[in-house]
Amino acid sequence: GDSVTQMEGPVTLSEEAFLTINCTYTATGYPSLFWYVQYPGEGLQLLLKATKADDKGSNKGFEATYRKETTSFHLEKGSVQVSDSAVYFCALSEINAGGTSYGKLTFGQGTILTVHP
């Protein structure tokens, strides 16, 4: 079945440091890939997405590129801020997985990011 593996956390950085959170996946078809962010005490918000190979999703200074050859979708940001402290989830969905699980999201375990001033 489908699966998503994220780098183990937690990750602690100083403000303005470079961020990378690794994400790799296994899928039977051609999935869409997502990064979600969860701020303390809140629900999940879509951060960015990519639907085909070599697509780059970007938002709020975060970027991730869909790499089919390495089955990866690593999240990067050049200069993190204290306000980026949150839990980040990598996820995938397959649109036509035999018609039995249309579009369900499969999540990684989440990476806790803490940014210090």
Binding region for other proteins (CB under 8 A): 32, 34, 42-46, 49, 51, 89, 93-95, 99-110
Nearer to other proteins, 7 or 17 (CB): 7
CB of 68 to other proteins, least distance (A): 18
CB of 78 to other proteins, least distance (A): 26
Nearer to other proteins, 98 or 117 (CB): 98
- Who contacts 7 (Cβ-Cβ below 8 Å, separation ≥6)? 21, 22, 23, 111
- Cα–Cα distance measured from residue 28 to residue 31, given in angstroms and rounded to the nearest whole number: 8
Nearer to other proteins, 10 or 78 (CB): 10
CB of 18 to other proteins, least distance (A): 24
Q: Please report where in the chains the tokens 């997405």 appear, as a residue.
A: 49
The total number of residues written for the chain in this structure: 117
User: How would you classify the pairing of strands 86-93 and 105-107?
Assistant: antiparallel
Q: Are 87 and 109 in contact (CB under 8 A)?
A: no
Nearer to other proteins, 17 or 85 (CB): 85
